[in-house]
């Protein structure tokens, strides 16, 4: 982390997060300990040696910084903004009222021997299944960590929308999801059994039907969540280096009631089919006019 980013984080934790220096430890050391533990996944005794502090002191200040970070959520997370009716963005203009994209990712962690079976994913790794939701321009909107690696993505999403302070999807709006999720109100999935991934559309390949055309457009837009996860895991960019954008649209202030259940319906299937047909008709006309 760059020094300027570190200083900004310390300032935010002080002003917004309510973090205070103690008699024997300043804010910057508390934050440095917190970040070191997260970045390097080290145990308490390693931090005791590196910072010459007792185990009790490290645990106490780690929790203090963690509580401060939780209070920064409304500042660091971007507010969801739907795709406008007059959008001219090539990737998103088809998905009117779409709020962004979501997916699950697995992050390795250490757990007790008794818990390893629950946290072992299908690849055999010990992980936590983290749900991430991002905006069209690649900023995180919502994150739900903590689920066992063995948990299915759909189960994690159902839990997210049922929580008191969970993911809110107002009726009439939706997120793009991959084929691992159900295609239902609020969550627009691609067609299964059709070409989907961006690599399948290279070398001059064109969609042969409406479903393939929809999948091509869907994959191009939904790829934003994959990029978000990639940047997060590779730590290529410090997200705090840029000023936090103030958004004019706040999903919490939308008057539509939130979606509470993930149930497939004929109405939602028809919405996807109509959108796919519109995409393919436009695609075909544009090719013929060239």
The pLDDT tens digits of the residues spanning 219-265 come to 999 999 999 998 877 755 444 434 433 333 344 444 567 888 888 89
Tell me the average pLDDT of the chain.
Answer: 88
- Helices 55-70 and 3-15 cross at an angle (nearest 10°) of 80
Res 55: pLDDT = 93
Closest Cα to residue 97, out of 116, 80, 118, 110? 80
Element (H, E) at 129: strand 127-134
Res 235: pLDDT = 57
pLDDT tens digits, one per residue of 166-201 = 999 999 999 999 999 999 999 999 999 998 888 887
The whole-model pTM stands at: 0.79
Query: Which residue(s) pair with 104 in the sheet?
Result: 131
Residue 106 has pLDDT above 80, yes or no: yes
Res 236: pLDDT = 55
Element (H, E) at 101: strand 98-108
C-alpha–C-alpha distance, residues 240 and 36, integer Å: 17
The full set of domain ranges for the chain reads 3-72, 79-288
């Amino acid at each position: 982390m760059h020094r300027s980013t570190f200083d900004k984080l310390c300032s935010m934790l002080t002003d917004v997060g309510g973090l205070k220096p103690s008699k024997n430890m300043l804010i910057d050391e508390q934050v440095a300990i917190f970040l070191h533990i997260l970045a390097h996944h080290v145990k308490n005794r390693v931090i005791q040696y590196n910072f010459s502090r007792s185990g009790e002191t490290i645990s106490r200040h780690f929790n203090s910084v963690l509580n401060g970070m939780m209070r920064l959520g409304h500042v660091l997370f971007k507010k969801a903004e739907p795709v406008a009716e007059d959008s001219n963005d090539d990737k998103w203009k088809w998905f009117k009222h779409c709020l962004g994209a979501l997916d699950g990712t697995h992050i390795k962690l250490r757990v007790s021997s008794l818990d390893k079976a629950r946290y072992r994913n299908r690849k055999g790794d010990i992980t936590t299944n983290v749900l991430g939701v991002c905006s069209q321009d690649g900023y995180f909107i919502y994150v739900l960590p903590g689920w066992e690696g063995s948990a299915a993505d759909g189960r994690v999403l159902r839990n997210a929308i049922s929580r008191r302070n969970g993911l809110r999807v107002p009726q009439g709006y939706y997120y793009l999801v991959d084929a691992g999720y159900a295609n239902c109100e609020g969550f627009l999935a691609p067609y299964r059994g059709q070409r989907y991934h961006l690599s399948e559309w290279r070398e001059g390949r064109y969609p042969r039907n409406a479903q393939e055309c929809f999948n091509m457009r869907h994959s191009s837009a939904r790829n934003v969540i994959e990029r978000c996860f990639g940047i997060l895991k590779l730590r290529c960019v410090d997200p705090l280096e840029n000023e936090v954008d103030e958004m004019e649209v706040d999903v919490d202030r939308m008057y539509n009631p939130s979606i509470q259940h993930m149930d497939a319906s004929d109405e939602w299937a028809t919405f996807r089919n109509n959108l796919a047909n519109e995409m393919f008709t436009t695609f075909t006309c544009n090719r013929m006019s060239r």
